[in-house]
Amino acid sequence: MKITRWILGITGGIAAYKTPELVRLLVKQGSEVKVVMTHGAKSFVTPMTLQAVSRNPVYSDLLDEDFEAAMGHIELARWAQGILIAPLSANRLAALAHGMADDLLTTLCLATQAPIWAAPAMNQQMWHHPATQSNIRILQERGIQLLGPEYGEQACQEIGLGRMCEPEAIVANLFNAEKTILEGKHVLISAGPTQEVIDPVRYLSNRSSGKMGFALAKAAQRMGAKVTLIAGPVSLPTPAHVKRLDVTSAQQMYDVVMKEAQHCDIFISAAAVCDFRLLETNNHKIKKSDQHQNLTLNLVANPDILATVAKLPKRPFCVGFAAETENFEHYARQKLLEKELDLVALNDVSNNEIGFDANDNALTVFSHHQKHEITKNSKENVAIKLLEIIGEYYHAKNKTKST
């Protein structure tokens, strides 16, 4: 369903000056827009301007007799087919996360059944603060879709993540989300680490949190795909409408992936699979005293899951990740060729701000003839961009096959 009735919620932040343009672009898409402003927002942009561009009255007060007599907040919440909050300040973000209803906008968000999108904008330190990050996770778990923020120079002259996405990008994202480029496709995604048992209390593993793979699963489902997510041991909630199968070791992941890969169109291997496991596991805890100062573990290679899937006679479109710390392009291209992949996404895991366990990522995606940069952004937004690239290549490959 194309959303044509939007509430645009504007909160108090300098990026509010961009909202008349946002209204104009939404209207250009054939939408009717009703603007709801917080009191803080009015310090940055006038209700009169927004009334003129939206051609509708602008709402602000929860306890306004005229507004309640004319439409009322519950009616407005029912009227909306989509709510977009841009910019979303740190303060209103916290209020939303904690279910507050202390102004008209937060009340509408509680009273509506419409999907909600939000474009946060704030100082980069405020964005990175653990309180904000924890509020963000709450909102995401509740299905609120975040657009940005973007990296760059801020009004406060700091540089970092926190800029509101440009109005064109917000509108493109809103209407792209409905484009469902993966409609009808079955996408199999592996995520998280594997654990290889040493003894009953110890294992070998790595720092993967599963965030990247889970973000891909969530975004692929929103783009219309049927999604199966094979998850290593992680503590993340399952994205809505995604089939999740939990595994622990590389061998278990191999077994489940090989079974599921028979029925999928696209396989994205985001898991950080342990390359080795113990040749023999110990049934009892290895005692320090037994081993003196040195302990030698006898390791054997795990099967390469992705390379095996890519060699299946009826193989899905195969996308790998290359987690590297040096010789980035060389190793990424080597994986593309040796594992016989369609695409490989290079992840610089020497940078703590992206890659393992970080909330953000940045990727370079290699096909056999081209490369595409996905600049630093939240893993949710990086996932959307990566899936758009995958969708394009997948459709191009299948078009070539059928002609």
SS3 for 399? helix
Say if residue 79 is exposed, middle or buried (CB neighbours under 10 Å; 0-12, 13-18, 19+): middle
249 near ligand PMT (CB under 6 A): no
242 near ligand PMT (CB under 6 A): no
**Identified binder of ligand PMT from the candidate list 269, 377, 378, 381, rule CB under 6 A:** 269
Residues 349-388 that bind ligand PMT (CB under 6 A): 349, 355-357
Catalytic, 165? Answer no
The nearest distance, CB 269 to ligand PMT, in angstroms, is: 4
User: With respect to ligand PMT, which residue has the nearer C-beta, 325 or 370?
Assistant: 325
- Residue 250 makes CB contacts below 8 A (sequence gap 6+) with 194, 196, 273, 274, 277, 302, 303, 305
Do the beta carbons of residue 146 and residue 219 sit within 8 Å? no
**Identified binder of ligand PMT from the candidate list 236, 271, 310, 389, rule CB under 6 A:** 271
User: With respect to ligand PMT, which residue has the nearer C-beta, 112 or 359?
Assistant: 359
**Identified binder of ligand PMT from the candidate list 209, 221, 228, 378, rule CB under 6 A:** 209
Element (H, E) at 385: helix 379-402
Do the beta carbons of residue 180 and residue 153 sit within 8 Å? no
Catalytic residue (one of 109, 156, 165, 274): 156
Cis peptide before 115 (omega within 30 of 0): no
Q: For residue 145, give Cα distances in angstroms to 84, 141, 219, 356.
A: 9, 10, 10, 23
147 near ligand PMT (CB under 6 A): no
Binding residues for ligand PMT, total number by CB under 6 A? 27
277 near ligand PMT (CB under 6 A): no
CA atoms within 13 A on the CB side of 65: 0
Binding mask 296-335 for ligand PMT (x = CB under 6 A): ------x-xxx-------------xxxx-----------x
Structure tokens of 340?
Answer: 């016989």
User: With respect to ligand PMT, which residue has the nearer C-beta, 60 or 195?
Assistant: 195
Say if residue 69 is exposed, middle or buried (CB neighbours under 10 Å; 0-12, 13-18, 19+): exposed
Residues that bind ligand PMT (CB under 6 A): 192, 208-212, 250, 269-273, 275, 302, 304-306, 320-323, 335, 347, 349, 355-357
Q: Which residues are catalytic?
A: 156
